[in-house]
Amino acid sequence: MWHPEPVVRHSIPEARWPSPEEAARSRLFQPIRVGATLLESRTWVPAMVPWRATEEGFVTPENLEWYGRFAAGRPGAIVVEATGIRDVPSGPLLRIGHDRFVPGLARLAETVRRESGGHTRLLIQLIDFLAVKRRPEKAKFFDRFLAVGERHRRALAALTRDEGWLARDEADVRSFLKGAPEESLDSVLDERELEALRFGYRERVTDTHLGHVRELPRVLPGLFAEAARRAREAGFDGVELHYAHAYTMASFLSRRNDRADGYGGSPEARVRLPLEVYGAVRGRVGADYTVGLRFLGDEVIEGGSRVGEAAFYAAEFARAGLDFISVSKGGKFEDAKQPKVGQAVYPYTGPSGYECMPTVLSDPQGPFGRNLPLSRAVKRAVAEAGFETPVVAAGGVGTFELAEEILRRGDADIVGAARQSLADPDWFLKTLKGRGAEVRRCTYTNYCEALDQSHKQVTCKLWDRQGLDEPGVALSGDGRRRLLPPRWEETGE
């Protein structure tokens, strides 16, 4: 993963944990209403993809165990991983694009209710994404994927100073390009062709020459609405619309979206489809169901949206009636690291990916609470527009003190902690019981993110090699890692 240079290695900050009385009085453990849902505390586990579904997108026993384990720590809310709204193959990611997925999702919702003793509310994140292909072998790209045209022949004629290329057979063009040096390809292929060769082909929402991309504004509201309807039928307390990172809805919000059909260009046009999607969802699930979203406070890419656009969008989302706004940062394809041949580009490997999940290898600012200025600006914009829509902040939050400070300063209304919750799903409960000294502290090295990048079952280095010989312990496919954190034994109270 990319990190700033020159790099500064930060230490995990010291933590002072509250007594049970202090915790009970704290802002973090006060209830908050989020639309139709009442959270018992302002603790929130954001969506994380654990790679435990079937290849067809169905819930597995491993999914149930995963979310049940988080529920045992009794956070105020858990958001289930990004779940595809289309009925198309997408690998071992959960899907909600057909009614056949509802029974498994219902078992997941029931598992969280049971394991949390009814204390934790459960939402599911709904996502759409466009096609992203693996990086091809050079020969395969030129043999099968490049559409040879007059432009290529003219470029070759200019490159070689040989007008004969204007009449050469297509097979000759492909053969030459397969053996051409990289600098020659730079002058023959256009930007998108070079990207398809070196990173893999990737669709964009601005590819309106493609019929299915052009029709996205007509198709997506219904797909999201039906997915939300299924979520409600499955027993989830609400849905989180995924408008963040490298995916379809975030791309509509991006300043890079220059569609000329009324859904791109100005901020008002870019937010149009996200609002129409929300309107369709609300119309399908009703006013008494929680519907929120996650979006970017900053894209962190050249030509991308910044916090000013985020503030504008946030006010529009609040005005439309969204029940919460969760703020993230970066995680884009545009600055991602080049993948190896045969692998797909991963949107969390460049500078914007770093800002999404900062590590202890950082700049002088460091990773802890790094993204709070964004949630602060979003909350201010919502308030100035006259609304009290709850805002969720996240990013390097691993102590009670930082979480409490976020709420005290008014940077957000709810505190999300993904990696710290993965390191210790019981950390909220331990803190509430005055047992904070027993919290397993995340070290923010992104061991978990590296597993995600490789599409391996996600675990944490702090516990995945412990007790591998315990009776009944679930292990990874290679038998080298446990898939769930050890249970917390509440002794010595």
Task: To the nearest 10°, report the CA torsion of 164, 165, 168, 170.
Answer: 180
d(CA 480, CA 483): 10
pLDDT in tens, the chain (493 residues): 788 999 999 999 999 999 999 999 999 999 999 999 999 999 999 999 999 999 999 999 999 999 999 999 999 999 999 999 999 988 899 999 999 999 999 999 999 999 999 999 999 999 999 999 999 999 999 999 999 999 999 999 999 999 999 999 999 999 999 999 999 999 999 999 999 999 999 999 999 999 999 999 999 999 999 999 999 999 999 999 999 999 999 999 999 999 999 999 999 999 999 999 999 999 999 999 999 999 999 999 999 999 999 999 999 999 999 999 999 999 999 999 999 999 999 999 999 999 999 999 999 999 999 999 999 999 999 999 999 999 999 999 999 999 999 999 999 999 999 999 999 999 999 999 999 999 999 999 999 999 999 889 999 999 999 999 999 899 998 899 999 999 998 765 4
Residue among 284, 320, 257, 359 at smallest CA distance from 126:
284
Q: What is the pLDDT of residue 477?
A: 87
Residue among 129, 183, 148, 156 at smallest CA distance from 346:
129
Q: What is the pLDDT of residue 77?
A: 98
Instruction: Read off φ and ψ for residue 393, nearest 5 degrees.
Output: -110, 150
Q: Amino acid identity, residue 45? A: V
pTM of the model: 0.96
What is the DSSP annotation of 288-355? TSEEEEEEES---STT---HHHHHHHHHHHHHHT-S-EEEE----STTPPPPPTTS---TTSSHHHHH
**How do 414-416 and 37-39 pair as beta strands?**
unpaired
Q: What would you measure as the largest C-alpha separation in the chain, in angstroms?
A: 86
160 Cβ contact list (under 8 Å, min separation 6)? none
Q: Please provide the size of the chain in residues.
A: 493
Cα distance between the two ends of the chain: 42
Residue among 388, 402, 487, 476 at smallest CA distance from 444:
402
Which helix (H) or strand (E) segment holds residue 127: the answer is: strand 121-127
**Three-state DSSP class for residue 172:** helix
Q: What is the pLDDT of residue 30?
A: 98
Q: What is the pLDDT of residue 239?
A: 98
- Find residue 482's DSSP bridge partners: 475
Q: What is the pLDDT of residue 220?
A: 98
Residue among 77, 70, 81, 82 at smallest CA distance from 37:
77
